[in-house]
Homo-oligomer: A and B are copies of this chain.
Amino acid sequence: MADSVYSNYPPHLNPAQKEFLVRTIKDWTVQHGLMIRPASTFISKESDPQGVVATSAPVTLFPSPFPKSCFEEAQALQTVYNRLYAAITCDEQWIGDIMEDLIDVDDFISHLWKVHLAVKEEGYAQSLSLGLYRSDYMPHVPSASTPPSLKQVEFNTISSSFGGLSCLVASLHTELLNSPPGHPIAYPSHPLLDSNQPPENTSVETLSAGLAAAHTAYGASKSSPALPTCILFVVQENERNVFDQLALSRQLTKVHKVPVFRLLSSEVFDHTHIPVSNPSRPLIYRPPHADGVEFEVTTVYLRCFYTPTDYKSERDWEARTHLERSAAIKCPTVLNQLAGCKVVQQVLAEDNGPDHLAKFLAGTDPTTIARLRATFAPQHDLSSSGRGRELALNPATAANHVLKPQREGGGNNIYKEAIPEFLRSLPETEWKRWILMELIQPPAEAQNVALRPDGEVLSGHVIGELGIYGTILWDQAGGKVLHNEQGGWLMRTKAKDVNEGGVATGFSSLDSVVLY
């Protein structure tokens, strides 16, 4: 079934059709802010010394087909996944046991853990914790005769990106499907496109509502006299994906009427402080552009600090600690970030040993837990006793696997036949930094056409990855959930011979879906 859907999709474009679609999309992206800042390899610093030009985000010309059952299952499970990761984050002991093994070999995880321990020793000033998550999936189609099943690629607990742009891609494809009004001809006719459209995509609304819920839950200023409150987006320098983030701050400002400021991670100490005299440890932000004005930060939203390169020196670790020990609600806390390590997914997926899911989702009906468990792809650590090592070192079995590092961010996976040689190039003591995961087999015939940020148009076989956004606000002390929502999604599509999926790095494209 799946194969027959993909084999003649997308419809063929003659040169005039392609020219029309590409030009229309190039203009639409600018008009609607579906943009990124260009890479310096495309528009050099010399060409644009003031950094004023922008370019189209990478987008597909067509929405991609996606199995309706898988899409709906992913949406249905999101609030359960939210609860699962909140519950894991509440179980510091459990996370600590898992991290223990990694601390010796993974500097990054070790550093994060130390931040947690330091703040724990002083005592956390804020027990509320906010998660803005994205659970990424592929439809798994091992053979033409089996119906597609939903398999999780990864679960992101920090800096889950593209929610600000993914809804725009859905709008773009929806408009093309209906253009011009009454007599749609922007796309060549195709059974999958005729009277079909991408499902509603509320990514901006959902993610912003999560941040707004935290802002409200923070309550009154803890300063005396009381200060106005704000949300602080802590961001990377030279962020090319800035318009994705600004979509959330615009929604917070316009709809929720919440002040939002952006602060470079390198300038945390320049513009924020925690008054020594105030035991509540409010985080005070002083906007550099307004002398003498102070805001109290209710919520720190991290769009940085998720990758080792975000910590250039000890000062950056101190900045992270400074935010962590403040009374601001963190999105995420260090513990919640650690809960997103691949090793956690791998431990959850283990099919022998304790039933972690049942424990963390106590009170959830077993059928739902089983459905969630069914989204796990088989995955293994590389301990000397386990099956993982055997599967990874044998070229025949390695061919069906991907080797993933613990941390977020993309760009570091090792695929298939490259795995044995890669592992042998590392000391065995470092192997535990990696997780071996059985490759998900997405529809083999899927194709699409993509407009790249440099204006090139590429077409060919592709692999699509669906992300579902969810937000949860909970109390670490006791685990009470104050807000738990799912809403909005991301389709990312990459050329099949490209193994990585980080859109901002230019390998893959933002897409949307038509369900079948």
Binding site for B on A (CB under 8 A): 16-17, 19-21, 26-27, 30-33, 35, 38, 42-44, 47-56, 179-183, 185-186, 228, 230, 242-243, 246-247, 250, 253, 257-261, 287-290, 293, 295, 451, 453-456
Contacts and interface: CB of A to CB of B under 8 A. Distances in A.
A230 B184 CA distance: 12
Contacts of A30: 33, 35, 54, 243
Nearest to A25: B52
A247 B26 contact: no
Given A19-B289, A53-B38, A180 B259 contact: yes
Contact of A181 (B19, B49, B51, B253): B253
B456 A246 contact: no
Contacts of A290: 17, 185
Contacts of A287: 20, 185
Given A21-B289, A31-B246, A47 B44 contact: yes
Contacts of A260: 180
A310 B306 CA distance: 54
Nearest to A13: B289
Nearest to A186: B289
Contacts of A16: 288-289
Secondary structure class of chain A's binding surface, majority of residues: loop
B455 A49 contact: yes
B31 A31 contact: no
A47 B47 contact: yes
Nearest to A180: B259
B54 A258 contact: no
Contacts of A31: 33, 35, 243, 246-247, 250
Nearest to A183: B228
Most chain-B Cβ atoms within 10 A of its Cβ — which of A31, A43, A185?
A31
Contacts of A19: 289
Nearest to A188: B290
Q: Which 8 A-B pairs have the closest CB atoms?
A: A50-B455, A180-B259, A52-B455, A20-B289, A185-B290, A31-B33, A181-B257, A16-B288
Nearest to A287: B185
Given A48-B455, A454-B50, A259 B183 contact: yes
Most chain-B Cβ atoms within 10 A of its Cβ — which of A44, A54, A186, A288?
A54
Given A47-B44, A48-B455, A50-B455, A20 B182 contact: no
Contacts of A32: 33
A267 to B, nearest CB: 12
Contacts of A42: 48
A259 B181 CA distance: 6
A185 B230 CA distance: 13
A288 B20 contact: yes
Most chain-B Cβ atoms within 10 A of its Cβ — which of A26, A30, A243?
A30
A42 to B, nearest CB: 8
A242 B27 contact: yes
6 contacts: A27-B246, A47-B47, A51-B455, A53-B53, A53-B54, A179-B253
A190 to B, nearest CB: 13
A65 B451 CA distance: 43
